[in-house]
Amino acid sequence: MVSLPGKARSNIRTINLVMAENKQQIESDVEAAAPVFHVSSSPHLSSKSDTRRMMLDVLVALLPVVIMALYLFRMYAVRQLLICVGSCLVAEALFVRMRGKSFSLNDYSAAITGVILALSLPGTAPWYVGVIAGFVAIGIGKVLFGGLGMNIFNPAMVGRAFVMISFAAALAASGYENAQSAVDAITQATPMNVFKQTGVATPLFALFTGMTNGSLGETSGLACILGGIYLCIRRTASWEIPAGVISSVLVLGGIANLISPDSQWTVLHHLMGGALLFGAFFIATDPVTSPLTPKGKFIFGIGVGTLVMLLRVFSGYPEGVMFAVLLMNALTPLINRWTIPRPLGSQ
């Protein structure tokens, strides 16, 4: 063994220490310079053009519903659409500006919220109901959570729920004594209310075509189906959600018919009556407030349909779609967690 002088050994130790420090510094620099990947659930890519395309698809899909509303309710529908869409656009600009951020109405999201909100209201609702609902929908239902893509609850349903609780009497779909339309003169209550109060069921053909009273967008099952099929074909809406809603209503409605075979209100009345189809295709399918995975979407739809049937059958409220959607919106984060896909090759 070669014996080195003390000074040489000291120099070697110094060199080793310097090399170790340099190695640690290099590793630290490499780690700091390395890209940081945040792995989360899909979707991973998005753009404003994609958002506009989706919103335009929704507007196109809503055309049959809007046309039917205009045909039946005439100026009542025009007034309600103008009030709600205008209120949502103004609220979007105002609240986003108050947060110190630049705003743009070019993504059409506020307009879509206004149209859906208007179609969920009766045409005779006072003007201030639409204004308040629009501001609550955008301010509390959307901007408060951080804006587009950050909201937990469907904004239109948040606004609708607020005014329903605050102005219940004003939202009763009253008669249209002066309205002349395909229906001789719509003076009756909504089909759901009629059956709840008298046990008399509205003919299925009237529910399918829309020749009944009710909120602007819920009367015509045919219009909702046509628009919903378009959304699913365009893949703007996930077919699993309306499939889950409709299948659960079919099952539970069928069971209810077996239990009460003499009831005039059949499972098809549950499908065509009220806002079931409108909610299944245009409200529950909101991509922001619904689950991400196909399995989760189907579970979400089943939950909405089940809650609707429970509310209709066991509560004093004849409808249930709005509350069902909001309740399932609250469960969406849990559904996403429960239905995380298993990575390829994992045990």
Residues 6+ apart with CB under 8 A from 199: 264
- Considering only CA atoms, which of 239, 252, 340 is closest in space to residue 298? 239
Q: Which span out of 34-43, 213-222, 231-240 was modeled with the highest average pLDDT? A: 231-240
Element counts in the chain: helices (H) and strands (E): 14, 0
CB neighbours of 253 closer than 8 A, spacing ≥ 6?
266, 267, 270, 271, 309
State the burial class of residue 198 (Cβ atoms within 10 Å of its Cβ: 0-12, 13-18, 19+): exposed
Q: Do 95 and 138 form a contact (C-beta atoms < 8 A)? A: yes
Q: Render pLDDT for 264-297 as a digit per residue (tens, 0 to 9).
A: 888 999 999 889 999 999 999 999 999 999 999 9
Q: List the Cα angle 157/161/166 in 5-degree steps.
A: 150
Which has more confidence, 195 or 83?
83
The pTM for the full model equals 0.80
Amino acid, single-letter form, for residue 5: P
Any idea which fold 48-338 has?
Answer: Ammonium transporter fold (1.10.3430)
DSSP label of 87: H
Grade residue 238 by pLDDT with cuts at 50, 70 and 90. Answer: very high
**What distance in Å separates the CA atoms of residue 166 and residue 140, rounded to the nearest whole number?**
15
**pLDDT for 208 beyond 80:** yes
Tell whether omega for the bond before 5 is within 30 degrees of 0, i.e. cis.
no
Would you list the DSSP string of 43-61? Answer: P----HHHHHHHHHHHHHH
Report, as an integer, the average pLDDT of 87-96. Answer: 92
Q: What's the confidence (pLDDT) of residue 6?
A: 55
Q: Cα–Cα distance between 96 and 89 in angstroms, integer?
A: 11
Count other Cβ atoms within 10 Å, centred on residue 174: 17
So where are the chain's domains?
48-338
| CA R_g for the chain | 28
Cβ-contact 210, 77 below 8 angstroms: no
CA 298 remoteness from chain centre? 14
Q: Distance (Å, rounded) from C-alpha 289 to C-alpha 61?
A: 19
3-state secondary structure of 249: helix
- The pLDDT mean for the chain works out to 82
Q: What is the pLDDT of residue 274?
A: 85
Burial class (CB in 10 A: 0-12, 13-18, 19+), 342: exposed
pLDDT at 197: 79
CB 153 within 8 A of CB 162: no
